[in-house]
Structure 1
Amino acid sequence: MAYNPEQPVFETEVKSSIKLLYGVEDRPKTWWETLFYAWQVTLVDFTPFIWAGAFVSLAGLPDTVIPTMISACFLAMGIGTIIQTTIGNRLPIVQGPSSSVLTAMGGVTAIYGFPAMWGAVLVGGLLEMIIGASRILGKIRNFIPPVVTGSVVTAIGFVAAKISITWIFSSTKPLHLLLALIAFLLALILKYKGKGVWSQGFILISVVAVGVVLSTILGQYDWAKVAAAPWFAFPRLFPFKGFDGTSNAFVLIPIAIIGGFTGYIGSMFESLGDYAATCAVSGETYRVKHINKGIAAEGLGCIASGFLGALPVTSYTQNIGIIAATGIASRFITQVAAVMFLFYGLSPKLAMALACIPRSVVGGVFAISASLIMFSGLEVIFSETQSFENNLIAGTTIGAAVMVPFFASTTGAKWVSTMSSFPKMYMNNNVFIAVTVGIVMNLLVNYVLKPKDGQPLKE
């Protein structure tokens, strides 16, 4: 069969109840509105400082490398997002540091050093780009019907909720928890009682009003750090040195490359789910081209990240939440946000100004977006005729995606810690589990175990 990039991934069209203010191809009529919504995107997708800190801890590196890595990650976010929205799948997707890849790369760096990590980042990005260009992933569409994708999107909603809760309780100070509650209530009021820009911009308004203004009044916003940061700083290629303090290039070590690529595998499966979720909340038909071009562009963005000294990038779940909550799916706004990320990377002062916003405030606002993602996934599931088979696939997939990582981080943590890097990463990755379990359950229920007479399975 000839390759058709416009071929829908699903045989039946998946519809969402989300009312869009701007579709993927739309642009706001005024520049101030564009800048307003783009800035809102950057506030919620502003997580490089979190992942940079996590990576440094995993790799056993000194905290002095964090500021440089944060700036590099912002540059990579801008470049990766521009690549994805122009020559990639052209969906309103923000690219940012991948938790799956950074986990794998942290172990590589701890053992082999920075040069080996950059080698693994560059080769991994190249392999991902080749996989996307080869159209291999696009051929698996028959194994991911709406019930599977809806389950994945629902799992992404749980991940978004976990991100929200993590941010809310990033500081257990009573005052920070109060700020989170105030931000949540203000966002809720603006979303459902506000009109026009007050409703569509509820995320930005709430974060600035509570995270900057009120936090400053209560002494919770560190203006001293903002003042101390420089306005401008030029980026450097391969800014980090090896363990010997001299080498700042990259080296290719096969074991390091293999170890790092396990993270890329998880990232690609996450992206398949994110692309489906983005299409669902943006009113777009999920097509084969979105998979192939998206993964190829993501790989190219990871290569750029490696040269800049940033963590590899992947599609960001947070941005799906913004679209679901605001109804703003404009690719143009996402591209303007990408330019803002570039400015953050070039201006440590701007980056520090956002980093000083209490995470609890952003978490309180993002809780609304997370709930909307979750329900969007359920809508996709119910877009197909309910049956015992579909209920079994969805229930098993969502249950595994939510509870296996919970087990891996609680009662099973000691056992999981004895595993090698790939199974350890898999056991803690909600979206990777959702994609693989969903595909396997669909194969078992609808192909392997399906009665020869075509009758449904017995309940």
Structure 2
Amino acid sequence: MAKETTSGEVAAARPEDEWLGPGKSLAYGIQHVLTMYGGIIAPPLIIGGAAGVSANEIALLVASCLFIGGLATILQSFGVPFFGSQLPLVQGTSFASVATMTAIVADSGLPGVFGAVMASAALGLLIAPFFSRLVRFFPPVVTGTVITVIGLSLMPVAARWAMGNNTKAPDYGSIANIALAALTLLIVLLLSKVAIPAISRLSILFSIVIGTVIASVIGMADFSKVAAGPIFAVPTPFAFGWPVFDIAAIISMFIVVLVILTETTADILAVGEIVDTPVDRRRIGDGLRADMAASAIAPVFNGFTQSAFAQNVGLVAITGVKSRFVVTAGGVVLLVLGMLPVLGRVVAAIPYPVLGGAGLVLFGTVAASGIKTLSKVDYNGNMNLVIVAASVGFGMLPIAAPSFYDEFPEWVGTIFHSGISSAAIMAVLLNLLFNHLRLGKPAENPSVFGTASRVIDYSDLKALSRLRNGDRIEDGRIVDADGNPVPVCDADGKPVPYRLDAEPNGH
């Protein structure tokens, strides 16, 4: 039974149901908004820039993403029957979908993006109750690969921003633009080094603000159009026209939806552990349904796919504030910000070189997160190295050579023009082939790729101290004078699969 304290806080049976009072809930909620603000405004800036829309239309996209992010956050944290995990999870526009939407917008414009998001999210909503059974097909070797490619595929965007974004502008690629981007990057790095945690965590946001102020002082920022428009307004439904439903675009977007479902499942499990509350299959299903329902509704208000923000999961761990009502308060703040188009016009006036400098770190962080996930993968005696290598390589093809699929049928280009879709398809198929289908090569030391990942170290040297004269290295293995393999065991007497492709620790 809940008990109320003199400060207005209400303890609850579940940690996430604790009520901290309106003042604390709002304050902590604003902290959540500040933590994810830079991440939630970046996707509409990227997609709007790729679509070539005006500054006012980009402002509308920014406001719409804030608005729908607030609705999605409230649905996820507060919850209604069958929708919402009722955990402190902040929702916002997913970075995982940005590269794919950028590829779609080049062919079908924003209506094509909205149609693909709406249809793929509807499909995601249908499979959400069963997705927990499919998670085993999306292990870290798959998700880590995809997240890494997401970050890498956004690097050209950061480069274009740093150069000025508009390739037809006379100052595109100028020293002034690149210098402003470099200065912003330097500010990010310096703020990240500050010992005050609040400043370090918000280094991206603060660097954008400082970089914009500097740009304004030197005449590289124009805020003259900020006042041209209403201060308060609800995002207009279908402001960019009715959605267009293209089969190839929907398939491409559905692949991303599967990645988003995997990420949200991981975030639900992670925040459940942090809050120390039970998370069962039903709760995961409710959370995924909220994710997909918000994503399906988002295009109506000119928004995009929604997912849980991992940085806010980290904030819950750092602060120890477990109340879901704090995040609900943050959702209300996002909702209000989304009804302030003047704020969107301010964001749209930020010079692209400033965004480019900050984006280099922001997008690089996404890639680094994928690499961190891949570091947890076991590469010994299996084909996981091949899965990662082939999937990353396949995913980088359309990034390194954008015209690679120009001669293919249009539907092929739409699906594989996105590096994320390419990497995801390859990673899932290869994971099924090598880790689930038992036909073919044996599980232990299946190929040179599987065995090459094990390099002998000092612990093995102790086991090799009994080598005899005439023993030699042949094809990366130790054999005796007659060419017979010499069995090698570790310090505990267990057989060690290895190759002597390098000397231990570089000595």
Scaled by the length of structure 2, the TM-score of the pair is 0.65
Query: Match for residue 208 of structure 2?
Result: 207
3-state secondary structure, aligned to 1:224: coil
Query: Match for residue 219 of structure 1?
Result: 219
Between Structure 1 and Structure 2, whose CA radius of gyration is higher?
A: 2
Structure 1 or 2: larger helix share?
1
Is the CA contact (8 Å cut-off) linking 1:267 and 1:314 kept in structure 2? no
3-state secondary structure, aligned to 1:456: coil
Is the CA contact (8 Å cut-off) linking 1:153 and 1:276 kept in structure 2? no
3-state secondary structure, aligned to 1:315: strand
Is the CA contact (8 Å cut-off) linking 2:120 and 2:257 kept in structure 1? no
Is the CA contact (8 Å cut-off) linking 1:221 and 1:357 kept in structure 2? yes
3-state secondary structure, aligned to 2:227: helix
Q: What is the distance in 2 between the residues matched to 1:325 and 1:374? A: 20
Of structures 1 and 2, the one with the larger relative CO (CA 8 A, separation 6+) is: 1
Structure 1 residues 320 and 340: alpha-carbon distance in aligned structure 2, compared to 1, 3 A threshold:
same
Which of the residues 70, 77, 81 maps onto 1:78? 70
Q: What is the distance in 1 between the residues matched to 2:47 and 2:330? A: 19
Moved more, 277-286 or 374-383: 277-286
Query: Match for residue 185 of structure 2?
Result: 184
Unpaired runs of 5+ in structure 2? 1-15, 166-172, 449-507
Structure 2 counterparts to residues 45-444 of structure 1, below 5 A: 45-46=40-41, 47-52=43-48, 54-55=50-51, 71-86=63-78, 87-88=83-84, 90=87, 91-95=89-93, 98-99=97-98, 100=100, 104=104, 124-133=120-129, 135=130, 137-171=131-165, 172-211=173-212, 213-239=213-239, 256=245, 258=247, 261-272=250-261, 274-275=263-264, 292-293=285-286, 295-308=288-301, 310-315=302-307, 320=310, 338-389=331-382, 390-401=384-395, 403-410=396-403, 412-415=404-407, 418-421=408-411, 423-444=412-433
Please state how far the C-alpha of 1:199 moved relative to its aligned partner. Answer: 1.7
Unpaired runs of 5+ in structure 1? 1-23, 243-249
Deviations 1:134-170 (A, max 9, x none): x1x3322232332222222322332354443343234
Percentage identity across aligned positions? 22
Scaled by the length of structure 1, the TM-score of the pair is 0.71
Letter in 2 for 1:224: S
Is the CA contact (8 Å cut-off) linking 1:408 and 1:427 kept in structure 2? no
Letter in 2 for 1:187: V
3-state secondary structure, aligned to 1:302: helix
3-state secondary structure, aligned to 1:231: coil
Q: What is the distance in 1 between the residues matched to 2:252 and 2:113? A: 12
Q: What is the distance in 2 between the residues matched to 1:277 and 1:170? A: 37
Is the CA contact (8 Å cut-off) linking 1:94 and 1:334 kept in structure 2? no
Letter in 1 for 2:135: R
Q: What is the distance in 1 between the residues matched to 2:338 and 2:51? A: 18
Aligned positions, number: 407
Please state how far the C-alpha of 1:333 moved relative to its aligned partner. Answer: 7.3
3-state secondary structure, aligned to 1:228: coil
Structure 1 residues 117 and 265: alpha-carbon distance in aligned structure 2, compared to 1, 3 A threshold:
closer
Deviations 1:170-214 (A, max 9, x none): 443432322211111111112124323222222222111112x21
3-state secondary structure, aligned to 1:371: helix
Is the CA contact (8 Å cut-off) linking 1:427 and 1:433 kept in structure 2? yes
Letter in 1 for 2:298: S
